[in-house]
Structure 1
Amino acid sequence: MSNKSLGALDGQVVVVTGAARGVGALLARKLAAHGARLALVGLEPAELAEVAEEVGGASWEADVTDREAMARIAGEISERYGRIDVVVANAGIATGGPFLASDAAAFDRVIEVNLLGSVATARAFLPALVASRGYYLQIASLAAITPAPMMAAYCASKAGVEAFAHSLRAEVGYQGVKVGVGYLSWTDTDMVRGADQDDVLRELRARLPWPANRTYPLAPAVDRIVAGIARRAPHVYAQWWLRGMQSVRGYLPSVIGTVGQREMRRAEPRLRETADVRRGLVGAGGQADEAARKAPKPS
């Protein structure tokens, strides 16, 4: 995308959730480099404040599933900046492993944060976007297109947010609000690095067909997301080949159902032996979510 097109970001007030690290943090930096004004929301207040200071923005600590907190923050951001032009619902966590061996609380928390957290984000910020005729970008994943064994919670949550965003587009488009869905494959973030600490999961991923079997660098992926925000695109693909997946997605459940059975049968002994290592959420972001929920609540 040309610098002229990216100039559309100059002066835009952009809210990014899950902005303390990974995609959200780098997205904030790159948007700020094109003149956007940033409002960052998430856990990990020290890391969040550091990113906010770097980009000349402001930060708000919140669990995105807390509807009251998100509504309050939306009001505070509107009051501080006078408007909100773009919201990127990026906050997300993950867990991996066989469903029957999964920790039920961690499994449910993935659905809660990724899906219901996105719903709470939209509920809080859409009124401001209606007022500004703005843009809402829902970060989904290749997991929304491609079901996969050992990723039931993540796939279900990302398929859910994709459908949610498509529904919103039909509802609010006549009010001038554009809604987009962002798709990423395996990208070099703390979440993916955390998942790769599990030897069995890492080896299973390496057996996926090209190009889904590699980890992609973060910066080019975020550049594509920035370009999508600038043009308020209905679909944003962080890796070039993901667009082509849309045309074959109807065939994937049958193919993966067949191939997945073979891979699961092969991996089952090692999965059983190492079941204890994959309890809970993966990566630093998952650990931050667990720590925040265990922390004593203010009276």
Structure 2
Amino acid sequence: MPRYSLNGRTVLITGSTGGLGAAVATELRARGANLALLDLNGEQVMAQAATLGSESVAYGWAVDVRKLESVQAAVDAAASHFGGIDVVIANAGITSMAPLESHDPALFERVIDINLNGVWRTFRAALPYIKQSKGYLLGVSSMGAFVHSPLQGPYVASKAGVWALCDATRLEVRHYGVEVGSLHPTFFKTPMMDEVHADPAGHTLWGGNKKGLWKMIPLETVVESVVSGIERRAKIIVPTVQNSLVARVPGLLRPIVERIGFVGNTIPDAIAKAAKPPVI
């Protein structure tokens, strides 16, 4: 498959001012991409855009991924500003450290709402534009989708959900010429990981992620995997070779099941016949 050049294409990123979002945005801009930057703090995201170029190549919008109307307004504004959207990176995410028996219910719901529901809202808002460009949707999951960390129940549940959501969406939109992928990095240095290490429970659990199975990988490794994965329009992106087997084993039989179970136009025919859900 020929490389999907990013030069001149518009990439929309949620959570753009975070550790991964900011690093990916910088690399994408270096490869000639236009950047639609979305984050919760409007002043911060506009300041980020200003460091990456003129308003014609980088612009920011305040967005709350917990609200579909907020996401939709920002996505529509970005598409209008740049004349379309080619790639979406649903990256906004948070974590928490607590066992089930003492986990704050409100925090549990917040993690799920941002990490999983936020990806759904972002994909939903952007899909009409991605269909027009025959573009690419990328959901930021984690190795936590496959290796489930104790004391991080809502986080790993949300990331496993992102993987499943991306895979289901991929089947739904492939007949439009749209590709969908999920990203599964292991630990790497970000402000989020700094908070985990500062937490006594997190430090006890992971030992600072300095060695062994939980050793952190360079941020640059993750960024390169994201960009090259977009250029390949990859279904699954795993930044490190040693983790590839763990990530890919759950999906080994998936292509066979898809080929046998969803023959011909089964999926688009089902979509066409799907009843609209009731308005609640």
Pick the TM interval, shorter chain: 0.7 to 0.9
Q: Does the CA contact (< 8 Å) of 1:146 and 1:249 recur in 2?
A: no
Cα distance change, pair 106–120 in 1 and its aligned pair in 2 (3 A): same
Separation in structure 1 between the aligned mates of residue 91 and residue 81 of structure 2, nearest angstrom: 22
Match of 1:153 in 2: 154
Match of 1:277 in 2: none
3-state SS of 1:60 partner: strand
Separation in structure 2 between the aligned mates of residue 5 and residue 176 of structure 1, nearest angstrom: 15
Report which stretch shifted further, 176-185 or 40-49: 40-49
Residue identity opposite 1:139 in structure 2: V
Q: Which runs of no fewer than 5 residues in structure 2 stay unpaired?
A: 252-280
Report which stretch shifted further, 44-53 or 184-193: 44-53
Match of 2:69 in 1: 68
Residue identity opposite 1:133 in structure 2: K
Residues paired across the two proteins, number:
246
Match of 2:40 in 1: 43
Alignment deviations for residues 114-143 of structure 1 (CA, whole Å, 9 cap, x no partner): 111111101100110001100000110011
Q: Does the CA contact (< 8 Å) of 1:97 and 1:201 recur in 2?
A: no
% same residue? 35
Match of 1:142 in 2: 143
Across the aligned residues of Structure 1 and Structure 2, the Cα RMSD in angstroms comes to: 2.0
3-state SS of 1:35 partner: coil
Cα distance change, pair 208–84 in 1 and its aligned pair in 2 (3 A): closer
Residue identity opposite 2:45 in structure 1: L
Match of 1:169 in 2: 170
Select which of 29, 33, 53 maps to 2:26. Answer: 29
Q: Does the CA contact (< 8 Å) of 1:14 and 1:86 recur in 2?
A: yes
- TM-score calculated relative to the size of structure 2: 0.83
Residues 1-299 of structure 1: pairs in structure 2 closer than 5 A: 5=3, 8-56=5-53, 57-206=58-207, 211-247=212-248
Q: Does the CA contact (< 8 Å) of 1:186 and 1:212 recur in 2?
A: no
Separation in structure 2 between the aligned mates of residue 40 and residue 14 of structure 1, nearest angstrom: 8
Alignment deviations for residues 37-66 of structure 1 (CA, whole Å, 9 cap, x no partner): 000001122332222112220000111121
- TM-score calculated relative to the size of structure 1: 0.78
Cα distance change, pair 46–216 in 1 and its aligned pair in 2 (3 A): farther
Q: CA deviation at 1:246?
A: 2.6
Q: CA deviation at 1:210?
A: 6.5
Higher relative contact order (CA 8 A, sep 6+): 1
Match of 2:272 in 1: none
Cα distance change, pair 209–146 in 1 and its aligned pair in 2 (3 A): farther
3-state SS of 1:212 partner: helix
Q: Does the CA contact (< 8 Å) of 2:197 and 2:208 recur in 1?
A: no
Residue identity opposite 2:230 in structure 1: I
Q: Which runs of no fewer than 5 residues in structure 1 stay unpaired?
A: 251-299
Residue identity opposite 1:32 in structure 2: R
Alignment deviations for residues 228-275 of structure 1 (CA, whole Å, 9 cap, x no partner): 11121111112332212135559xxxxxxxxxxxxxxxxxxxxxxxxx
